[in-house]
């Protein structure tokens, strides 16, 4: 039996009673929270003798954050994009992420995990990857998740149709570019039977939430998938009792493609296919109207808001104020480093609270700091299909973050929720606990050798670009079609 006692900490529980304990203890036994109580309460003297005690004086304990949408292959790509359009970003991203070795997959996933852990993220959904991949790539990613110490969801990113949303609408490709497209074949779909086998095998081999890893079928985007693949994902999720993760309506062109193909909105079409349920989480969800918002709310679908990447790509601002008012469960994501350049979920929280205020005149409808924090905790837990994370209370998994209250942004502590959202950047993260195990201590990762990962990661992108130089040159030419 392993045990941990965090003693004399300020505790932001986010529990069912929404308690803030100015000074208290958290007892952890075998990876779960056994008790939470005020330091002056009657149960203090009955606390267990722990194998490890953390002095929580001058620390604030909060639930670990949940990054409900990231892409670990993008971990090497910070600083590679600026003013590119969404289609241009997609082509360049394919060139930078294709043809990786399993070891490169592993190092990229570990680098992504390092960024998240140091910023207080204990659980993430990795929409992995986009290009062709095989069992060896999945094995490399899952090994990275295990070694990182994080709680992870591998969302197996699948498709079986064309990426029509990133081709020019009214411009025919020049003949030489058509020939080059056929030669480099950047996005060839697998046969549906092969995709089913790969996805089901990944779930059968690796899905083990009790051991910190879940596996979901994850269509890359419904406009890039046939109904057969979407229905397959629905059926796999039901059979294995897992979630489904996807992009949804990230760009305006995707709304038009859905209408042309199905004669209705994409949300309506997903409803017809029986896809809308609490098992489904949808990243971005920008181009959506009020009737579809009501559909998402009625079916319990989780929307994953990615405000930073949406702004950087200029794809739009998701109507989160209207979603919250309608009762939609909202989670938060960083997206990948290629479109956001960091994995700081605190920045996403701040933007989630502030973005809608400029278009909503009624301040009573504004997203509050408390609601934004709930998106990064309880909302993310819903997307990950985990009902025992995102709060500090007895019986929950011990995924905790301790923030250093001696830092300027916490001086003085006026309101812990507001300062967590509006003041904190992730720089105050002192200690991170996942499943009762300390994985970050005094601001340094202890779960693995992060310095060694960083050293290996530094030359990787240059090597990948050299290997993929033909694909990269093709991607650059495709970008020229989207000025």
Residue extents of the structural domains in the chain: 3-63+391-444, 65-383
Which residue pairs from 411-416 have beta carbons closer than 8 angstroms and sit at least 24 positions apart in sequence? 413/10, 413/60, 415/369, 416/10, 416/12, 416/20, 416/60, 416/62
Query: Cβ atoms within 10 A of the Cβ of 192, count?
Result: 15
Residue with token string 């005020």: 38
Alpha helix segments (H runs only) across 123-251:
135-148, 175-184, 192-206, 227-240
Q: What is the pLDDT of residues 28-63, one digit of tens each?
A: 999 999 999 998 755 555 555 678 999 999 999 999
pLDDT higher than 60, residue 302: yes
Q: Residue 403 in contact with residue 9, Cβ under 8 Å?
A: no
pLDDT for 181: 86
Query: Cβ atoms within 10 A of the Cβ of 170, count?
Result: 4
Class of the CATH-defined domain 65-383: alpha beta
Over residues 381-389, the mean pLDDT reads 98
| Tokens standing for residue 446 | 């202890």
DSSP 133-147: --HHHHHHHHHHHHH
| Tokens standing for residue 318 | 């998701």
Class of the CATH-defined domain 3-63+391-444: mainly beta
Q: What is the pLDDT of residues 73-101, one digit of tens each?
A: 999 999 999 999 999 999 999 899 999 99
Q: Residue 186 in contact with residue 98, Cβ under 8 Å?
A: yes
Which of the four pLDDT bands, split at 50, 70 and 90, describes residue 1?
Answer: low
Over residues 463-476, the mean pLDDT reads 94
Length of the chain: 483
DSSP state of 363: G
Pairing of strands 302-305, 280-284: parallel
Alpha helix segments (H runs only) across 341-427:
345-354, 369-374, 380-383, 416-422
């Amino acid at each position: 039996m392993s045990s941990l006692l965090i003693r004399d900490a300020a505790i932001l529980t986010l529990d069912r009673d929404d308690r803030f304990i100015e000074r208290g203890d958290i007892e952890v036994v075998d990876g779960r929270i056994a008790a939470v109580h005020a330091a002056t309460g009657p149960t203090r003297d009955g606390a267990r003798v722990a194998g490890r005690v953390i002095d929580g004086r001058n620390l604030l304990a909060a639930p670990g954050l949940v990054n409900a949408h990231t892409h670990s292959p993008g971990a090497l790509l910070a600083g590679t994009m600026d003013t590119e359009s969404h289609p241009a970003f997609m082509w360049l991203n394919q060139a930078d992420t294709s043809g990786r070795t399993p070891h490169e997959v592993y190092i990229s996933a570990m680098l992504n995990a390092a960024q998240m852990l140091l910023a207080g993220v204990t659980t993430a959904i990795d929409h992995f990857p986009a290009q062709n991949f095989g069992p060896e790539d999945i094995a490399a990613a899952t090994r990275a998740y295990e070694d990182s110490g994080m709680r992870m969801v591998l969302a197996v990113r699948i498709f079986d149709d064309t990426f029509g949303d990133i081709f020019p609408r009214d411009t025919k490709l020049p003949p030489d570019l058509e020939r080059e497209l056929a030669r480099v074949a950047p996005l060839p779909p697998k046969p549906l039977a092969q995709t089913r086998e790969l996805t089901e095998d990944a779930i059968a081999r690796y899905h083990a939430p009790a051991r910190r890893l879940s596996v979901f079928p994850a269509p890359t985007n419904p406009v890039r998938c046939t109904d057969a693949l979407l229905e397959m994902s629905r059926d796999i999720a039901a059979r294995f009792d897992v979630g489904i993760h996807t992009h949804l309506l990230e760009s305006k062109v995707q709304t038009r493609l859905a209408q042309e193909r199905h004669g209705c909105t994409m949300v309506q079409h997903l409803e017809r296919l029986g896809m809308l349920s609490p098992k489904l989480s949808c990243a971005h969800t920008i181009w959506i109207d009020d009737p579809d918002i009501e559909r998402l709310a009625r079916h319990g679908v989780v929307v994953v808001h990615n405000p930073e990447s949406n702004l950087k790509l200029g794809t739009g601002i998701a109507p989160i104020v209207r979603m919250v008012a309608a009762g939609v469960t909202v989670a938060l994501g960083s997206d990948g480093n290629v479109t956001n350049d960091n994995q700081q979920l605190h920045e996403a929280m701040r933007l989630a609270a502030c973005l809608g205020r400029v278009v909503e005149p009624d301040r009573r409808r504004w997203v509050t700091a408390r609601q934004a924090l709930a998106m990064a905790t309880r909302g993310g837990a819903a997307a990950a299909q985990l009902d025992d994370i995102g709060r500090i209370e007895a019986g929950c998994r011990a995924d905790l973050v301790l923030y250093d209250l001696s830092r300027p942004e916490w001086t003085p502590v006026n309101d812990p929720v507001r300062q967590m959202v509006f003041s904190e950047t992730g720089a105050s993260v002192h200690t991170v606990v996942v499943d009762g195990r300390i994985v970050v201590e005094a601001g340094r990762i202890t779960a693995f050798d992060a310095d060694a990962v960083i050293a290996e990661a530094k030359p990787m992108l240059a090597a990948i670009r050299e290997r993929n130089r033909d694909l990269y040159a093709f991607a650059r030419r495709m970008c020229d079609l989207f000025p």
